[in-house]
Amino acid sequence: MPQPHRSIGQVLAVVKPEFPDVSISKIRFLESEGLLSPERAPSGYRRYSQGDIDRLRYILRVQRDHYLPLKVIREHLDLMDRGEQPPNLEAPASAAAADAPVVGVPLQPTTDAAAPERSQSATRKPLRLTRRELLSASGLSEAVLIDLERQQLVTTRRQSSFYGREALTICVVARKLQLYGMDSRHLRAIKQSAEREAGLVEQAVQPFLRRPSAEAAEAAREVTQLVVHAHAAMMHSLIQR
């Protein structure tokens, strides 16, 4: 018995629980990029098969979990279309992939009050990316990276020609925001907000600077995490109004 086809709205309802940020415009964008090819009913409406939905899930998953650019995802899909297996992304092939970043803080705030404390215990190795590695890992174009650097939104690590985790995070975010018409001008506004919050953190930890350096550093980390979590919770609250 053939499986029923779904409309784009029904597809959105199916994948939304796993990918809360997906939208109809995002699905249409992926189709315009040639990554999805649903059937068309005589009326012109899209008709998605289960295979189309599985393909969409794969695209969204590797974007979310591995930050793959569309060019690489297209290569993976071509392999799958030929009946071959795509690369095993759980077995990283490079130092950058082995230490993939966690981009930002989820917009949905945690309800667990202990989450900031737990996140401190999850230490990660620092990234050291060359310019070419940064472009490859983020999927960002050279032109956009130059613009971000001109705006001082992305910089190399101090006294080094290498880029760190924060640079990679900003580049990935910048690439993803392009899908929503946001560019370096909008990132500047985000930076200005971050600068104000960083000032609040510096004021809060001033009394700890007279204590042992380890204690002062721990206080700075904890206050920063608390501010970040408060920011995420307030953003979510404002958007959900």
Query: Could you report the per-residue pLDDT of 74-109, keeping only the tens digit for each?
Result: 889 998 888 888 887 764 434 333 344 433 333 333
75 and 131 fall within a common domain: no
157 and 79 fall within a common domain: no
110 and 223 fall within a common domain: yes
Sequence-distant (≥ 6) Cβ neighbours of residue 41 within 8 angstroms: 47
Give the count of domains, the chain. 2
Tokens representing 204 are 């809060």
The answer to whether 106 and 234 are in contact (CB under 8 A) is no
Q: What percent of the chain has pLDDT over 70?
A: 83
Domain assignment of residue 169, yes or no: yes
The answer to whether 19 and 59 are in contact (CB under 8 A) is no
Calpha distance 141→61 (Å, rounded): 22
Q: Tell which of 91, 123, 139 closes a domain.
A: 91
Given a cut of 70, whether residue 203 has pLDDT beyond it is yes
The pTM for the full model equals 0.49
For residue 165, what are the domain limits?
Answer: 97-239
Q: Comparing 115 with 44, which gets the higher pLDDT?
A: 44
Mean pLDDT across the stretch 108-136?
A: 59
Q: Which residues of 109-131 are buried (b: 16+ CB within 10 A; e: fewer)?
A: beeeeeebeeeeeeeeeebbbee
Which residue is it, tokens 């794969």?
58
